[in-house]
Structure 1
């Protein structure tokens, strides 16, 4: 069966995992689109790692199905996993070999991997300066990068990373974020990344699935389409009453010295020009798009996350 490019790279259908009488994952249904950084967000203990372990075949499903590029994990495991690169636990490395020799060793597991592919992944993960140093001299961030380089050697369609920012400092997190985005845009790789850090997911992902106690709560788009979406904007003005009357056609409201309205992002400069032309002084313009944290609290009902 030929798949169109927009077919989901991964499809989870009613995935359920029970251990004894405990239901850890409950009827989880989710599509991961190709060529995106897809976040899997939830508090610790919500079932993220269990889901990932089922996706890579380290744990059996109680019921439901996971397909990767149209191949079912349950009965076409070899075909499904061929498309996957993953770091689920700490990546295995030989500490007394250089990063390059580690990649060389790993490449032998995938016969036909050309030497130039090693150079490509070194460049893609920004490891050029340190690739010939021994792994034992690497920081945690550098080891994480080498792990990703290793995981993408065979050009997988899907890269799965479980809590990759754990233990990284802010600079390491930023580096990871930058090259995951490059991976999605330059190689068309789908990246499935789990985390409990709201702020990281907001900066890293195109869309985010929110999971709580083994259940899917919501899927939210983050970056794509942000330009077109209507946003709430606050204009700080010297004559809020006059400004509200002037922009009555846009259903403007005022709150103290602030003028509030919901408009397309592209309309903001024109509104500013209308205010200035009417002799109203504009001291500041602030966009009030909801952060992922606001959205997360909204969809989980602001419940205490334990």
Structure 2
């Protein structure tokens, strides 16, 4: 996989009147990943996406896609992009197939073979000739993705693609996007208010608040970069003496009683020593498991408890 980012934002700012909607945004989106945008209501996620695809002017700074500047080389930049901003719009009285044909007429070089290829890619072969008005919301989302992929983009941008989907539809979309990145090598940028889904879906996440970038890093760093990643729950019948003994052990940074037993902040390699101590003290231990923060925990911690949207 190339190390050159597919999207680069440098000091991107958007002002409307006296209000600064996006403030000095700088980050890269690596190739071949699912990149997530998170932020509270009004954080600037959709505004950033709109600037990426040319639906909104950039006040200051630059956005490049595959090295092409969106402001000065728009046609060269946007040819690499497929996007669904808000909901995919289709002609409901036409079949899914005829919707794709209609769109293909506006894009040079899209063949019938390519249409059949994307239909297979989004797994709509059995329903592609049905009228779109008979499609479920999940099927319409998949048809929208098929439309966005017709011209073989390197980058797929989806703004809130899980809106209105049931759990099965959300999982189907997640699995499909992972297939695109792993098999097709396409980079996906996705915004969503479903934090649990973003944790399962994304390779990397950027958190925005009030138009500013709070942080951007791989998802495993977000949920495993602090002491919670080294907190272990010892399910055991500990008394105060046993808890104090654990707390006094070398390498133990903290030990506190909880209803299930004790939460101990310690390096993983020290766990056998703690178990040996408890066994010598004739303490019953029923299990040990790591406790880590979820993406939701980290998000609320970073945004001061502000709801996502």
Specify if TM > 0.5: yes
Gap change, CA 1:227 and 1:19, over 3 Å in 2: closer
* 1:190 matches 2:187: yes
For residue 255 of structure 1, what is the aligned residue in structure 2? 256
1:104 pairs, out of 81, 91, 101, with: 101
Q: Does the CA-based 8 Å contact 1:205-1:223 persist in structure 2? A: no
Q: TM-score, normalised by structure 1?
A: 0.86
C-alpha contact 1:124 1:182 (8 A) present in aligned 2: no
Q: How far does the alpha carbon of each residue in 1:103-138 deviate from its partner, in whole angstroms, 9 at most, with x for none?
A: 233233333334333333223222222122111100
Aligned residues: 301
Provide the C-alpha distance between the structure 2 equivalents of 1:74 and 1:180, rounded to a whole number of angstroms: 28
Q: Matched residues in 2 for 1:8 and 1:252: separation?
A: 39
Which deviates more, 279-288 or 18-27?
Answer: 279-288
Q: Which residue of 2 aligns with 1:75?
A: 72
Residue 89 of structure 2 is matched in structure 1 by 92
Runs of 4+ in 1 over 4 A off after TM superposition: 223-230, 239-247, 267-280, 303-306
Structure 1 283/11 Cα, relative in aligned 2: closer, same or farther at 3 Å? same
Within-5 A mapping of 1:10-159? 10-159=7-156
Aligned to 1:179: 176
1:226 deviates by 7.5
Where does the alignment leave 5 or more consecutive residues of structure 2 unmatched?
A: none
Which stretch shows the higher mean deviation, 88-97 or 154-163?
A: 88-97
- With over 3 angstroms needed to count, the CA separation of the structure-2 counterparts of 1:305 and 1:269, relative to structure 1, is closer
CA distance in 2, matches of 1:20, 1:253: 51
Q: Quick check: 64-73 or 22-31, which moved more?
A: 22-31
2:233 aligned counterpart, secondary structure: strand
Give the TM-score normalised by structure 2. 0.85
Matched, 1:300 2:297: no
Cα drift, residue 259 of structure 1: 4.8
User: Residues 255 and 61 from structure 1, CA distance in 2 versus in 1: closer, same or farther, beyond 3 angstroms?
Assistant: same
| 1:282 and 2:285 matched | yes
User: Please, which runs of 5 or more residues in structure 1 have no aligned partner?
Assistant: none
Aligned partner of 1:213 in structure 2 is 210
- What are the Cα deviations for residues 55-92 of structure 1, in whole angstroms up to 9, with x where unaligned? 00111111110000110011111110011000114323
Shift of 1:10: 0.5
Between the aligned partners of 1:29 and 1:85, the Cα distance in structure 2 is 22
1:64 aligned counterpart, secondary structure: strand
Secondary structure class of the residue paired with 2:9: strand
